[in-house]
Every structure is written in C-alpha cells, then in structure tokens.
Amino acid sequence: MIAIKINYHSDVPVYKQIITEFADAIISGRLKEGEDLPSIRKLALKIKVNPNTIAKAYLLLQTKGYIYSISGVGYKVAKPPMEAMEERLKELENDLRDTLMKMKKFPINGETLRKRVSLLVEEVIKNVHSES
C-alpha cells in the first residue's frame, strides 16, 4: 500500500488529490497491476476522510481505467491506460507553466529564471539517480 498524501488546506478537493495520488502510483509502477487496494472504509479511516469521498475517487479511477472492482473481493489495480502517462505529463507541464508564469512576475530577468529552473532540473535528475 502506498502512502496517500492529502493536503487538507489545498484548494484541490480531497477526492481529486486521491485520484492523482493513485494514478501517479499506478503510472509510475509503484502500484502493480492486480495489486489490492484498501477498502473504502479502511482508506477513509487511514486518511481521515468521509467514506463517500473515497467511493467517489474510486469510481472515477475505475471510470478512467486505473482500477477495477471484483464483487465480494474489492478493488484492484488495472493496467494503466495507454494514454495515461501522456495525459498526466501534460497536466504536470501545465502546472509547471503556471508556476513559471508566477515566477516571471517577480523582478528577475529571463536568464535568472532559466538558471533557477535548470538548477531544479539538475537537482531532480540527481535525486532520481540516487534513488535507483
């Protein structure tokens, strides 16, 4: 079971955060095809949210093809939809674009912004290699 991180103070609804956490774990392979997911009740207790919130997230994950249910057994991880990674990367690129637009409003020039972003990219790449 992966750790689900919920920001209860975020503008993003909790059910959407749950969807994102599970989708990212499935796309990245941290959750494997056929792996059991916690029951709605168990996950609701663990992350301290209403079971209806989990049910809504699971329903949408199922609709998008990330998970499936087996009557009397529970929810399982499906093979990630083929277009899932590309869609998620586009969402993250849009988030990054929004962040860069916010940074651009500060009194810094393009070269300074480019250097800061490059340093972050290098830091992320270094961390990815050190985790391997």
Q: Which residues of the chain have pLDDT under 50?
A: none
pLDDT of the residue at 49? 96
| 67-70/74-77 β-pairing | antiparallel
pTM for the model: 0.77
pLDDT of the residue at 58? 98
In the block, tokens 């674009």 appear at 97
Q: Which amino acid does the sequence have at 131?
A: E
79's CB contacts (< 8 A; 6+ apart) are: 33
pLDDT of the residue at 132? 54
Burial 42-69 (b: 16+ CB within 10 A, else e): ebbeebebeeebbebbbebbeeeebbee
